[in-house]
Amino acid sequence: MMAETFPLLKDTKIDTATYTRLYEESINDPETFWAQQGKRLDWIQPYTKIKNTHYIGGDIGGDIGGDIGGDSATDVSIRWYEDGTLNACVNCVDRHLPTRADKVAIIWEGDDPADDKKITYRELHTHVCRLANVLKREGVAKGDRVTIYMPMIVEAAYAMLACARIGAVHSVVFGGFSPEALAGRILDCDSTFIITADEGVRGGKTVPLKANCDAALAQCPQVKKVLVVKRT
């Protein structure tokens, strides 16, 4: 069965010939290719090293969860741009402000398709910075783990970006998980701060996120604070 090739959309930013050329470069000379692609990001400390990978004692052709990471994988290391430093939030938000501040960054649609909103880069920057400052005020610091247990609302994106902005590590837990499953994930990453919502809405029904979170926290004594977004 032959794969079907679909025509490019009229506003696509790349043509077929350019895509094919770039793909071939990525296969034939990956280090040069990724050296160029890395320049598309904004760096605090520019990189000089592109990739540093080695596999000793492991079968890299094995199944994930098999030889890689098993007893036979004695030394597996995969590093990209390891001497460079960047901020993911700045690259997702700030660098677009000079030329795209009033362009739409996020299109959100609620459980009811009639419930939607569009967030520009300028608005996104404001919301993310505000939440980042709240996190810092509440004691969240670089390297701290933050669990995000939220419905599919724009505040979930704000939370992830705010964590990245201040150097906190975020762990997203699916809003449909039970209190027991949530507790296990909080404990696994030793999270000390939770961001959740009062409730979620899924298929016309409410999901008791805050109540689930309260039940989970009975097993997680290391959690210091919970930030609750009002959804319903």
CB 216 within 8 A of CB 194: no
**72: confidence class by pLDDT, cuts 50, 70, 90:** low
The per-residue pLDDT for range 155-201, each reduced to its tens digit, is: 999 999 999 999 999 999 999 999 999 999 999 999 999 999 999 99
Residue of 131, 158, 185 whose CA lies nearest to 212: 185
Residue of 154, 150, 195 whose CA lies nearest to 175: 150
14, with CB counted inside 10 A (0-12, 13-18, 19+), is: exposed
**7: confidence class by pLDDT, cuts 50, 70, 90:** confident
**153: confidence class by pLDDT, cuts 50, 70, 90:** very high
**What are the structural domains, with CATH classification, of the chain?**
17-80 (no CATH), 88-229 (3.40.50.980)
The per-residue pLDDT for range 100-119, each reduced to its tens digit, is: 999 999 999 998 888 999 99
